Amino acid sequence: MKKGLIGISNNIKLNKEKIKLWAKTFKTVSDGEIILLAINADSEDINICNELGIQHVQVEIKPEDLGYINNKRLYHTVEFLKASDIDVFMVTDVFDVVFQGDPFSKFDLDNYDVFVGGEGILLSEEPWNSDVIKKCFPDYLEMCIHNEIICSGVMGGKRESLISMLNTMDQMCENAETGHDIRDQAALIIMVAKNEIPRLKILTINDGWAMHCATSGPTPFFDSWGMRHNLSQRYSVPKLVGDEIQTEDGRTYDIVHQFNRVPEWHQILINKYIVE
């Protein structure tokens, strides 16, 4: 079974170290292919991809649309997946994702086709996501408000099922009201609430697959916004042990997302994987 990791980046030469961390840590835990969708890439950007040993696919995005990369990446990801012969993918953010373990190891592919991660916090408890849905998909806010936030920055599964899901997310983003420039996660949350993703597995914070520092890490808002308290009522609170991010019961997370929002964790992971 062929496996792959896919993400997207603009300004590759300016973001080389972030891309290097994403790719290097994946290579330490998986032999899957790495594909970077390279936005408006020049020869220097391409050389960097070659230097990092990752496959690049050039995509064009109009300058006026660069502020909507989170939405626009959906179409380009779908187009690559349609032409690919890779069976199972991880589809992730690039600048703030690090792999500590094999991200495919918890995929039960006999029973599920798509894998996403819950953030442990309800939409009603976190103002950013609820604001996006209120502005872009107002008809669905009431339906979703008491549901757990599902993260679109780390997704995985079988190629055909991902194509279907990402294509629907793309159409939703393109047809949304224009109240916010980042709509992909809102679209995913709504699809989950409407039970529109067949054979979906939602992995929790306690499963040790992915943790998302925006809501589950000790950011400046973790206590003041009540996230630590709310998270601990349902699951457990991730922790730093040495140079690893672990579950409360001592299992290393396969994926740490948004680590750059916690300065101490950011520096420790940089020192572990990049500083030579």
Summarised one tens digit per residue, pLDDT across range 78-104 is 999 999 999 999 999 999 999 999 999
Tell me: pLDDT of 275 over 70: no
pLDDT of residue 69: 84
Quote the CA–CA distance of 226 and 241 in Å, as a whole number: 23
75 within 8 A of 183, measured Cβ to Cβ: no
Q: Between β-strands 255-257 and 97-99, what pairing exists: parallel, antiparallel or unpaired?
A: antiparallel
Averaged pLDDT for residues 7-14: 96
Three-state DSSP class for 107? coil
The full set of domains in the chain, from first to last, is: 1-93 (3.90.550.10)
What SS3 state is found at 91? strand
Q: What is the pLDDT of residue 236?
A: 93
As a whole number, mean pLDDT of residues 95-120 equals 98
pLDDT tens digits for range 134-147: 999 999 999 999 99
Q: For the chain, give the mean pLDDT.
A: 96
At 270, the pLDDT band (50, 70, 90 cuts) reads very high
Determine the 3-state secondary structure of 233 from DSSP. Answer: helix
